[in-house]
Structure 1
Amino acid sequence: MLTLSEVEAAIAFDQPDLRATQQRDMIVVEGTFVVTGGDAAYDPEGPLARYGVRIELSSAYPRIEPRVFETDGRIARDPDHHINGEGDCCVTVWENWLVTAGSTSFSAYLRGPLREYFLGQFWFENTGSWPFGERAHGMSGLEEAYAEALGIPNVRKDLLYLLRFLRQQRSKGHWPCPCGSGRRVRNCHQNDLSAQRQRIKPHIAKSMLARMQPRKGELSRSSF
């Protein structure tokens, strides 16, 4: 479980203009997020930009994604500026980051997705383009990110089937292989799927499936 002392240690090192407090069942981080050109919070050339932020953290982090709000009104509140309908920042596709990141500590989150988000906002303010490219909005962008995390082509029915497979604690050798060959898992990609499950734990696969919200009538290759 994430503790207040862990959060305080992370911001003291990376973002000393932030302050953390325990508020009932969450940790709230507020203050100024400093954006630099390098990985450190401060560098000899000085900061590129500063953004007022409020970060709401569950003690279950990283299982539960932080909610981030830009508090100075500097970023337009619309999807084109990666702000969700409830006003929180669309920082990253969470499950994609959990699967691909080397570390998912709060310090890694500050240095990685959060820094890239605000660096992107600063760059867009000044150039009109996003420095790291931009995914499609909505479900299309979500599916693109999940296909990247899973390492398969972006075909919705295949994404859904593989995620249904990975959400199981154990797989059966007689299940149809997610590769679409028509063969059973035991005679096809059993070892590859076992390795995949080590990267993508069942709770992450379940979260991906929930966010994809399969449409009514969408079929899978099996009933599991």
Structure 2
Amino acid sequence: MPIDMIQIQEVIDNFPGLSIKKSLKKEKIISGKFELNDSYNGIRMVDDFEIEITIHSNYPEILPKIKEIGNKIDPKYGHIYLDRSLCLATEGDMKINLFPNFKLIDWMNNYVIPYFYSYSYYKKYNGVYPFGDRSHGAKGILEYYVEFFKVNKLEEAREYLKIVSKKEYKGHYLCPCGSGKKIRNCHKEKIYKLMNPEYCTFYKDDLNMILEEEKNYD
């Protein structure tokens, strides 16, 4: 599948410090200076980073990978993978939020900019995260689904994932959130969204990772 050059050009137009570094059959690599100038709750962060973004030919099924290549981010910062790519969010988070009309510019605006804003804020304010901080591994994935389903407990989020994974939606059952309402009068829309075939692989991968990690703790 050819990579959408219109989407790449849109990113370059909006972030003029970036340009195409390599154009290969299976991937495109854009790199250069990423200039941060963003605010949250009235606090503005201005900074710049050298970055490299790899876009696979199977995009958007395979999400872009981004690295900070200027050695500006502290290696001890928790949200970096072993290959030095940046942990922007869980894969399920990005795919569920941006699909089915995934656009590179939306990925930049919704995940890349907040990542660098959060890091700059974290450094300036001695380890404080402006948007909060999710855990790593299965717990972090469940924390995303707590936000997605708008519930309070990890166990409740896990129950919703099991329902949609096994296609065991019963609208007359009591909702796992503990509201006392039937599912059809409570979390029906969220459940239906994930049961859509376009989204099934996203949450199933997350659920498998959760169950595998929990099994290792038994």
Conserved 8 A contact 1:18-1:32:
yes
Residue 159 of structure 1 corresponds to which residue in structure 2?
Answer: 157
CA shift at 1:110, angstroms? Answer: 0.9
Which ranges in structure 1 are unaligned for 5 or more consecutive residues?
40-46, 182-186, 220-224
Alignment of 1:40-79 (within 5 A): 48-78=46-76
**Distance in 2 of aligned mates of 1:92 and 1:112:** 10
Residue 114 of structure 2 corresponds to which residue in structure 1?
Answer: 116
Amino acid at match of 1:65: L
Which ranges in structure 2 are unaligned for 5 or more consecutive residues?
none
Distance of aligned partners of 1:192 and 1:63 in 2 relative to their CA distance in 1, 3 Å threshold: farther
Q: Aligned to 1:167, what secondary structure does the other structure show?
A: helix
Distance of aligned partners of 1:180 and 1:16 in 2 relative to their CA distance in 1, 3 Å threshold: closer
Residue 199 of structure 1 corresponds to which residue in structure 2?
Answer: 193
Amino acid at match of 1:154: K
Amino acid at match of 1:29: I
CA shift at 1:75, angstroms? Answer: 0.8
- Give me the identity figure in percent: 16
Alignment of 1:185-224 (within 5 A): 188-190=182-184, 194-200=188-194, 201-214=199-212, 215-216=214-215
CA shift at 1:69, angstroms? Answer: 0.8
Q: For residues 176-200 of structure 1, what are the alpha-carbon distances to aligned partners after superposition, in whole Å with 9 as ceiling and x for unaligned? A: 766288xxxxx94246565224432
Conserved 8 A contact 1:95-1:208:
yes
**Distance in 2 of aligned mates of 1:174 and 1:197:** 10
TM-score where L is the length of structure 2:
0.75
Conserved 8 A contact 1:4-1:22:
no
Residue 3 of structure 1 corresponds to which residue in structure 2?
Answer: 3
**Distance in 2 of aligned mates of 1:2 and 1:106:** 15
Distance of aligned partners of 1:174 and 1:217 in 2 relative to their CA distance in 1, 3 Å threshold: farther
Residue 88 of structure 1 corresponds to which residue in structure 2?
Answer: 85
> What is the aligned counterpart of 1:107 among 105, 122, 139?
105
Q: Aligned to 1:152, what secondary structure does the other structure show?
A: coil
Give the structure with the higher percent strand.
Answer: 2
Distance of aligned partners of 1:2 and 1:53 in 2 relative to their CA distance in 1, 3 Å threshold: farther
Aligned residues: 204
CA shift at 1:119, angstroms? Answer: 1.4
Conserved 8 A contact 1:56-1:68:
yes
**Distance in 2 of aligned mates of 1:217 and 1:118:** 33
Distance of aligned partners of 1:23 and 1:17 in 2 relative to their CA distance in 1, 3 Å threshold: same
Q: Aligned to 1:216, what secondary structure does the other structure show?
A: helix
Amino acid at match of 1:109: W
Residue 222 of structure 1 corresponds to which residue in structure 2?
Answer: none
Q: For residues 140-160 of structure 1, what are the alpha-carbon distances to aligned partners after superposition, in whole Å with 9 as ceiling and x for unaligned? A: 33221221112233233x433
Distance of aligned partners of 1:203 and 1:179 in 2 relative to their CA distance in 1, 3 Å threshold: same
